Amino acid sequence: MGQKVNPIGNRLGIIKGWDSNWYGGKDYSAKLVEDNTIRVYLNARLAKASISKIIIERTLKLITVTVNTARPGIIIGKGGQEVDKLKEELKNITKKEVQINIFEVKRPELDATIVANNIARQLEGKVSHRRAIKMSIASTMRMGADGVKVLVEAVNAGMGSVKTAEMAMCPPSVYIPQVAAMLEGSPISLGAQDVNDQESGAHTGEIAANMLTDIGCHYVIVGHSERRAIYGESDVFTARKFAAARKAGLVPILCVGETLEEREQGITEEVVARQLDAVIELEGIAAIADAVIAYEPVWAIGTGKTASPGQAQDVHAFIRNKLAALDSTVAASVRILYGGSMNPANAAELLAMTDIDGGLIGGASLKPDDFLAIGQAANA
């Protein structure tokens, strides 16, 4: 026999199943009708709580509300399945168990408000509100001179649609002066894709950090997965680049991440921790406050494999928790970007994750509309 609904106001755990016995042995399933009352109230209640729009949308999408016209009552999800989906989704967002309470409803409009308040309180108590930092969307531009010109002009023209995110462009070094001139007076920041670890000396073909500041760069990427994998740049060498960038007044975008082989070995956290430790040992934890971190799951870039928002969030949370163990203030303030093939289709869901503060965009940044769409996703 299924569980009976307790009187209004009494707490009830998740209903795992229900059948005709739940209604006194009579089958009223044909009389269940869809009712959107609770959706309206829940939407309004969550919005009032200043919870991210994307989290509200995902929560509402997972709730099925039915009203038994023969015996008034609101059921969240048939057979408890949607409730379980909602709990699992909220757990992915909050990293904590969320209890959803169900009440018997005799006055649908009033009691829908009660159910909405109940769910909203769960979210308010356990969803981390976005830290008071600005999201960053950075482009690693890989194209020729004509493509650079078209991209920069188009993104500049569309910046009115990006309300909250800081947008940055990191073109190949030979195009930095061209892009710098085009971005003059623009809200878009300028960065570089790489930097040498030496301040001066005989290093033919290399670009020193002070050269980048001279031509107007604000950011520079260090430790990109391609530099590590193709050119054999070590954690220690990357840390020296990080130090050189900071000394010159640049903001390093420190890339960390594991290969497919490392993920399959189950050593993702060990790899990311090692990459972070190299910088912290050289520069100290306080130096991270002057930087941006970008998590690149190398196995999800150009391989046909994709990291789910939950998988990305898990590593971002690991990074923040590792930093918090050394300095909670630094951990709370540092921006951690996601660099695993973010695109217009997945940006909103990824950016809704508690510890994802923006994106380091590769292929999607080559199309102005796509790059702007990702920036717009940060408006939520």
Domain count, the chain: 2
13 in a domain, yes or no? Answer: no
The whole-angstrom separation of Cα 277 and Cα 354 is 23
In the set 166, 258, 283, 296, the catalytic residue is 296
pLDDT > 90 fraction of the chain, expressed in percent and rounded: 44
Mean pLDDT score, 127-133: 45
204 and 318 share a domain? Answer: yes
259 and 153 share a domain? Answer: yes
Instruction: Specify the range with the lowest mean pLDDT, choosing from 56-65, 140-149, 228-237.
Output: 56-65
Who's near 123: CB < 8 A, 6+ residues apart?
A: 46, 49, 51, 55, 59, 90, 98
Active site residue 224: yes
pLDDT at 289: 92
Q: Is the pLDDT of residue 18 over 50?
A: no
76 and 171 share a domain? Answer: no
Instruction: Tell me the three-class secondary structure of 220-240, residue by residue.
Output: EEECCHHHHHHCCCCHHHHHH
15 in a domain, yes or no? Answer: no
pTM of the model: 0.67
Active site residue 264: no
279 in a domain, yes or no? Answer: yes
298 in a domain, yes or no? Answer: yes
Highest mean pLDDT: which of 113-122, 134-143, 273-282, 301-310? 273-282
221 in a domain, yes or no? Answer: yes
156 and 68 share a domain? Answer: no
149 and 115 share a domain? Answer: no
Domain region containing 61:
20-126
**Which of 108, 126, 144 represents a domain boundary (last residue)?**
126
Mean pLDDT score, 27-46: 50
Which residue bears the tokens 């380091």? 360
In the set 224, 258, 316, 349, the catalytic residue is 224
CA distances in angstroms from 71 to 6, 20, 32, 328, listed in the order given: 14, 12, 10, 52
55 in a domain, yes or no? Answer: yes
199 and 288 share a domain? Answer: yes
Which tens digits make up the pLDDT trace of 321-342?
999 999 988 888 899 999 988 9
* Residue of higher predicted confidence among 242 and 150: 242
| Confidence label for 35 from pLDDT (cuts 50, 70 and 90) | very low
CATH number for the domain harbouring residue 269? 3.20.20.70
Mean pLDDT score, 90-101: 54
| Confidence label for 58 from pLDDT (cuts 50, 70 and 90) | low
